[in-house]
Structure 1
Amino acid sequence: MTAPSFPVLRLKPKADARRIRHGHPWAWSDDLVLDRRSKAVTAGALALLEDAERQPIGIGIATVNARIGLRVLDRAPDAVIDRDWLRAKISAAHALRAALYDKPFYRLIHAEGDGLPGLIVDRFGDTLVMQPNAIWLEERLDDLSALLLEITGATTLIKNGTSRARALEELPEEMLTLAGTAPDGPLEVPMTGAIYMADVLGGQKTGLFYDQRPNHALIASLSGGARVLDVFTHVGGFALAALAAGATSALAVDASEPALALAGQGAQAMGCADRFTTRQGDAFAVMEALAAEGATFDVVIADPPAFAPSKQALDKGLRAYERVARLAASLVAEGGTLMLCSCSHAADLTKFRASCLRGIGRAGREPRLIYTGFAGPDHPVHPSLSDTGYLKALAFRL
């Protein structure tokens, strides 16, 4: 085999090379031989990963001074990571979404789930919003931009460089329009029968969360003629899907006034503003106030932010999920449905379910689990990387 033209990183003898050979896309820095030469490898540079016997494992992106020392891009040691390589990855991701959805509204690239570590791209019709959260992507931004527009046929490309992940890679925080014209207001997004308003320039993340689509559909199927409460609603999430399916009323709760305003615009666009109300404030306080008022609902959903984003925050996060479950369960009418969600990487399904059941039990309710949901197929899960399967949704009959 021809000697590589890029640096070599080697695993220590005690490192588990099989873990990576069997599919895990990361090599921890602690598992690498960090001598003078390897420590000098520039962050974001391509490098060949070898096992302790100097047998090649694959090519990846080196970040030896970080916790993750190398992210594997290709298992072939002679792979060429160039424009054609990027084209193949983006084309495969696009083909999957085109087969799944009849309208161009979806997550187009889901980082390691699509073999492109650090890259998130969401599509809103003719507008793409890209989050390049790693150095290696920043260095290939021109090729990425051109290929995304060429392959999708989109006309506008926005770079959202405001994530915390970019700060960890010492990349600048910036919001840029790389192609086309930035929208002068929120974009209408049809999904699950509803219309959502996405603020792609000033909203959370890329402006809308596509991951809950299948869970929206489950709630919609149970919402005909129902009174619905959607806590941590963001821009209308479950509430608008329920109204589209014939809910008699939907109350949306969120701490963000701008997000609730967008939710109201979505309800207006759907022609159901008369059945939609909002309450702005701390979700815990609002649920306590509703309980004090004696309010009950046929369907209650709580989709909070990540309470356990890391292992260090796990115990505190699980207690928060338990509290959400207790408060939300007390608002469900007899025979009604409660859906509880978690987007925390550190809280796996077993731990999250246990917290939910403790909270429901503390509310004095008797649950039956009727549904376990995850993110939609436009968020493919890397089988060896649990972080790509972060979303969990549990629905109970109480």
Structure 2
Amino acid sequence: MTLSPLPIIRLLPKTKPQAIRRGYPWVYANEVVTDRRTRAMTPGTIAVLEDAERSPLALVAVNPESKIIGRVLDGPDAAHPDKAWFATRLRKALSLRERLFDAPYYRLIHAEADGLPGVIIDRFGDIAVVQPNAAWADVLLPDLAAALAEVTGVTTILKNAGGRGRALEGLDDVDAVLLGSAPSGPVPVTMNGATYMADLMGGQKTGIFFDQRPNHAFAAGLAQGARVLDVFSHVGGFGLAALAGGAVAAHCVDGSEAALGLARDGARQMGADGKLSITKGDAFDALTTFGEDEASFDLVVCDPPAFAPSAKAREAGLRAYERVARLAAPLVAEDGYLVLCSCSHAVDLSSFTGACLRGIGRAGRRAQLIHTGQAGPDHPLLPQLAESGYLKALFFRL
């Protein structure tokens, strides 16, 4: 057997290698021999992972400063990732998106599920926004960017360093332009007949949430002739989709004035600005005020940020989801619809559904669950990694 020129990390004898062999993509720090040599590895080092009997298991990216010390990249005999290696992964991902969508607006790379652990790439026509949320991707970013331009033909590549994972990996929060020039303003994105304005430089995440696309579409199908309330609206995700679906009015609530301004711009682009109204402020306060005013809507959507971003926050997050449901349910007209969403990795579908039903029940309402949505197919699920199936959208008729 030819010895690998790459460094080696080794599983502890007590750690069973079956999960890695079956496709699990993470190796935790308490599962490997963390001797002085391993601890001295530079974050982002590419190494070979061996089992306790010294049999090669996988090519991994190592970060001794992270709880996830190893991220599986490839088979144990693969070469060190380079531009050609990235190009192969990108072509596979692109072939799926081009089959799914007729315009180049989608998530191109969804981290582990697309074979690039910790990497997010969203595409906006000729612009790609990259979130390298793992140390190895930060180190190899020049090769990744070069392959991205070659495979997709994008002329602008932006690095977004705002991902929560970068802090956990010990990385900086400095955004950058990797290719071309930064857009001079928000970029219009058309989905489900609605127009969204994406701020690729200063907006939340990469500028827009592509993951909710199928749930926006389902909500739009319920919106004909409806009065709609979109809470935690960001740039008007559900509200603008509802207007495209025939809603007579949509009211967006968000804590960000900039996001609400983009929602207004999107409505204007659609010729629907006269049907959109906004409230800037705390969502819980707004829901409480609407309840005190006995306001009524045919469709109410609540799509909050992750209330439970970690296992430690799970119980507090479930209480927050229950509170949202309790405050939102009284605002729904008889036989109207309530949409409740969660993007929390730490809350599974069953627990989230239970919290929502408790809140609806405490509000004195009865519910039919008519649809359960998840992220769109440009956010594929890696079956071995439950965390990659984070988005849940419950559609109730009250």
Runs of 4+ in 1 over 6 A off after TM superposition: none
Question: 1-side partners of 2:255 and 2:353: how far apart?
Answer: 25
What is the deviation of 1:370?
Answer: 0.6
What is the deviation of 1:164?
Answer: 3.0
**Secondary structure in 1 matching 2:235:** coil
Question: 2-side partners of 1:352 and 1:141: how far apart?
Answer: 37
What is the aligned partner in structure 2 of residue 354 from structure 1?
354
What is the aligned partner in structure 2 of residue 277 from structure 1?
277
**Secondary structure in 2 matching 1:394:** strand
What is the deviation of 1:70?
Answer: 0.7
What is the deviation of 1:132?
Answer: 1.2
**Secondary structure in 1 matching 2:218:** helix
What is the aligned partner in structure 1 of residue 300 from structure 2?
300
> Does the CA-based 8 Å contact 2:288-2:327 persist in structure 1?
yes
**Secondary structure in 2 matching 1:372:** strand
Deviates more, 1:5-14 or 1:263-272: 5-14
Question: 2-side partners of 1:144 and 1:19: how far apart?
Answer: 28
Q: Deviations over 1:179-206 (max 9, x none)?
A: 2221111110001110000000111011
What is the aligned partner in structure 1 of residue 167 from structure 2?
167
What is the deviation of 1:6?
Answer: 1.1
**Secondary structure in 2 matching 1:269:** helix
Question: 2-side partners of 1:335 and 1:384: how far apart?
Answer: 39
Deviates more, 1:78-87 or 1:176-185: 78-87
Question: 2-side partners of 1:94 and 1:188: how far apart?
Answer: 21
What is the deviation of 1:28?
Answer: 1.0
Question: 2-side partners of 1:286 and 1:50: how far apart?
Answer: 55
Q: Deviations over 1:74-109 (max 9, x none)?
A: 124344422221110011111111111000111111
TM-score (norm 1): 0.98
Unaligned stretches of 5+ in structure 1? none
What is the deviation of 1:276?
Answer: 0.9
> Does the CA-based 8 Å contact 2:216-2:237 persist in structure 1?
yes
What is the aligned partner in structure 2 of residue 7 from structure 1?
7
Question: 1-side partners of 2:309 and 2:162: how far apart?
Answer: 18
Q: Deviations over 1:241-292 (max 9, x none)?
A: 0000100111111111111010000000000111111111111111111111
Q: 1:146 to 1:65 in 2, by over 3 A?
A: closer
> Counterparts of 1:31-50 in structure 2 under 5 Å?
31-50=31-50
> Does the CA-based 8 Å contact 2:62-2:136 persist in structure 1?
no
> Does the CA-based 8 Å contact 2:83-2:146 persist in structure 1?
no
> Does the CA-based 8 Å contact 2:113-2:381 persist in structure 1?
yes
What is the aligned partner in structure 1 of residue 137 from structure 2?
137
What is the aligned partner in structure 2 of residue 117 from structure 1?
117
Question: 2-side partners of 1:28 and 1:359: how far apart?
Answer: 37
> Does the CA-based 8 Å contact 1:57-1:77 persist in structure 2?
no
> Does the CA-based 8 Å contact 2:195-2:266 persist in structure 1?
yes
> Does the CA-based 8 Å contact 2:82-2:143 persist in structure 1?
no
Question: 1-side partners of 2:370 and 2:163: how far apart?
Answer: 35
Question: 2-side partners of 1:395 and 1:227: how far apart?
Answer: 16
What is the deviation of 1:20?
Answer: 1.3
Q: Deviations over 1:352-394 (max 9, x none)?
A: 1110010000011111111111000111111111221111000
Deviates more, 1:317-326 or 1:175-184: 175-184
What is the deviation of 1:158?
Answer: 1.1
Residues 1:237 and 2:228 aligned together: no
Residues 1:203 and 2:198 aligned together: no
What is the aligned partner in structure 1 of residue 82 from structure 2?
82
Question: 2-side partners of 1:162 and 1:331: how far apart?
Answer: 35
Question: 2-side partners of 1:388 and 1:55: how far apart?
Answer: 29
Question: 1-side partners of 2:176 and 2:130: how far apart?
Answer: 10
Question: 2-side partners of 1:357 and 1:249: how far apart?
Answer: 27
> In the comparison of the two structures, how many residue pairs are matched?
398
Q: Deviations over 1:57-77 (max 9, x none)?
A: 111011234211211101243
What is the deviation of 1:38?
Answer: 2.4
> Does the CA-based 8 Å contact 1:29-1:65 persist in structure 2?
no
Q: Deviations over 1:310-358 (max 9, x none)?
A: 1111111100000001111111001011110000010111111110010
> Does the CA-based 8 Å contact 1:4-1:78 persist in structure 2?
no
Question: 1-side partners of 2:170 and 2:324: how far apart?
Answer: 36
**Secondary structure in 1 matching 2:175:** strand
Question: 1-side partners of 2:62 and 2:4: how far apart?
Answer: 15
What is the deviation of 1:168?
Answer: 2.8
> Does the CA-based 8 Å contact 2:338-2:395 persist in structure 1?
yes
Q: Deviations over 1:108-130 (max 9, x none)?
A: 11111111012111111111111
What is the aligned partner in structure 1 of residue 251 from structure 2?
251
The one-letter amino acid paired with 1:174 is V
Question: 1-side partners of 2:126 and 2:274: how far apart?
Answer: 31
Question: 2-side partners of 1:334 and 1:308: how far apart?
Answer: 31
**Secondary structure in 2 matching 1:27:** strand
Question: 2-side partners of 1:137 and 1:111: how far apart?
Answer: 11
Residues 1:339 and 2:358 aligned together: no
Q: Deviations over 1:116-171 (max 9, x none)?
A: 01211111111111111222112222211111112111111111123332233332
What is the deviation of 1:41?
Answer: 2.5
TM-score (norm 2): 0.98
Deviates more, 1:292-301 or 1:75-84: 75-84
The one-letter amino acid paired with 2:335 is G
Question: 2-side partners of 1:357 and 1:75: how far apart?
Answer: 45
What is the aligned partner in structure 2 of residue 266 from structure 1?
266
**Secondary structure in 2 matching 1:102:** coil
Q: Deviations over 1:189-246 (max 9, x none)?
A: 0011100000001110111010000000100011111111100000000000000010
Question: 1-side partners of 2:248 and 2:65: how far apart?
Answer: 56
Unaligned stretches of 5+ in structure 2? none
Residues 1:178 and 2:208 aligned together: no
The one-letter amino acid paired with 1:152 is T
